[in-house]
Chains A and B, each alone.
Chain A
């Protein structure tokens, strides 16, 4: 069976500090991978998606970046956090790679980030 992991579960960081959130998927190969953010009182927002190693598409301009160093690893990073980066970050995967979403997305447990 497939599982998706995210860590850390919670994180409190000062403004201006760097960030690295990790997401890994087990039990499948060549998945589509996604990073979402849910800010307080707002809906989910797609930040990045990846259809393969080294292939990252950004949906919104921001001070965040994403990388996919391995097939089943997706990393969300920032060099300097802003207060507005606080939120609940979710990683997800779907079965089909190659640029087309036609299958269910499965979400990880999320990381709650508080920037002070």
Chain B
């Protein structure tokens, strides 16, 4: 059974700081890994999708890496802003179209 863990569970940083969110998964047989953000009371917004054959993806200030063999992914956020405050979810897609969601990291970027 796939398990996805995110560390840290919560993070508070001053504006402008670079930060890294971590995601680990127990079963390396995945199709892809996706990072989402969820704002309070709202739906999910897709940030980055990394296919199992890829090592990283970049979008603006965001960079996600994937090391499938070790079961790890990181989301790097450069020059953090208060608008980045949200819960970040790591999701892996495995066999049989099964999605497993991580436990989430609650990020707060302070002025």
Q: Does B44 contact A (CB under 8 A)?
A: yes
5 more A-B residue pairs beyond the given contacts A88-B41, A109-B43, with a C-beta to C-beta distance below 8 A:
A32-B97, A43-B89, A46-B98, A99-B97, A107-B44
Listed in ascending order, the chain B residues whose CB lies under 8 Å from chain A are 31-32, 34, 36, 41-46, 49, 51, 89, 91, 93, 97-99, 101-104
In this complex, what residue of A is CB-closest to B32?
A: A102
By a CB distance below 8 angstroms, the chain B residues around A109 are 42-43
Name A residues whose Cβ lies closer than 8 Å to a Cβ of B. 32, 34, 43-46, 49, 51, 57, 59, 88, 90, 92, 99-110, 112
Would you call B101 and A45 a contact (CB within 8 A)? yes
Q: B50 to chain A: closest CB distance in Å?
A: 11
**Per DSSP, are chain B's interface residues mostly helix, strand or loop, or mixed?**
strand
**B45–A107 CB distance below 8 A:** yes
B43 contact from A45, A46, A100, A107, Cβ within 8 A = A107
Which 6 A-B pairs rank lowest in CB-CB distance, beginning with the nearest?
A107-B44, A107-B43, A44-B101, A110-B43, A104-B49, A43-B101
Whether A101 pairs with B31 at a CB distance below 8 angstroms is: yes
Contact among A51, A57, A106 with B46 in the assembled complex (CB-CB below 8 Å): A106
